[in-house]
Amino acid sequence: MSIAATLAPIVDLMFPPRCPLCGAGIQSQAGLCSDCWSELAFPGEPACGACGRPFAQTVTPGAICAPCLAEPPQHDGIAAATLYNPISRKLVLTFKHGNRIMLAPMLARLMLAKLGFVDEGWILVPVPLHRWRLWKRGYNQSAELARALARHKGAQLMVDALVRHKATRSLGGLGKAARKRALSGAIRVDPRRAPRLAGARVVLVDDVYTSGATAAACVAALKRAGAQVVVIACFARVLEDAPN
């Protein structure tokens, strides 16, 4: 039995488990109450064969959604644990801006359901933060998720594979062309890590997949370095038609 498991009853006695979102009593330290859990939205089938976007109606297996047909993605799939809605948004904001780094293992466990294909042959790479934002926040939430996933999957962890050389403004409200300009040259592969990425199968880890602009810049950098496969894994995915 691990030390954590041995000490769990003592920790629970001193700090009774509470839902991190509503404060209701729960059975374990890493979880949600039943009410908050029931409000999470999970992507289902059928879904786009290229990006995993859920379809609203039955389609032919392997069908591709309109956005992917219009602009085929460089990535090799998106594995999203949940759809972005008020409850997943609250979880992400609590994790990212509320200094609740202990939420990483729980969020990662939800992501694992979509990552059954990952084994020790894969490399987990988090979306990078610019050094000033990392200094201000104190941690990279994507790196914490990648660490938790690596512990479960036995995959290789490379937290410094990507470097954000340029601080970028928030991409919210920007059009596609403006987002691309803002990210131009902002994200690169660390030359010291490039040899290990050549021919590699990579999972790019992020907390939220929104417009896809940042992820696309990361995927492009990884593919230029020779990565063979790059799958994006996120806790929550923003969809125009996601439940509110």
Q: Are residues 34 and 48 in the same domain?
A: no
Q: Which residue has the tokens 């109450």?
A: 33
Q: Are residues 27 and 116 in the same domain?
A: no
| pTM for the whole structure | 0.88
Q: Are residues 53 and 33 in the same domain?
A: no
Domain residues for 73? 39-237
Q: Are residues 14 and 105 in the same domain?
A: no
Q: Are residues 46 and 149 in the same domain?
A: yes
Q: Are residues 168 and 55 in the same domain?
A: yes
Residue 16 lies in a domain: yes
Q: Are residues 8 and 51 in the same domain?
A: no
Domain total in the chain: 2
Q: Is the Cβ–Cβ distance between 75 and 231 less than 8 Å?
A: yes
Work out whether strand 187-189 and strand 162-164 pair parallel, antiparallel, or are unpaired. Answer: antiparallel
Q: Are residues 80 and 165 in the same domain?
A: yes
Q: What is the pLDDT along the chain (244 residues), one digit of tens a residue?
A: 444 444 444 445 445 788 888 888 877 767 889 999 999 999 988 999 999 999 988 888 889 999 999 999 999 999 999 999 999 999 999 998 877 888 999 999 999 999 999 999 999 999 999 888 888 888 999 999 999 999 999 999 999 999 998 776 666 565 666 777 767 778 999 999 999 999 999 999 999 999 888 999 999 999 999 999 999 999 999 987 544 3
Q: Are residues 215 and 162 in the same domain?
A: yes
Q: Are residues 29 and 110 in the same domain?
A: no
Residue 198 lies in a domain: yes
* Alpha-carbon dihedral sign for residues 47, 113, 109, 42: positive
Q: CATH number of the domain at 197, please.
A: 3.40.50.2020
Residue 244 lies in a domain: no
Cα angle at 139 between 191 and 228, to 5 degrees? 35
How many other C-beta atoms are found inside a 10 Å radius of the C-beta of residue 66?
Answer: 9
Residue 175 lies in a domain: yes
Residue 242 lies in a domain: no
Residue 233 pairs in a beta bridge with 79, 205
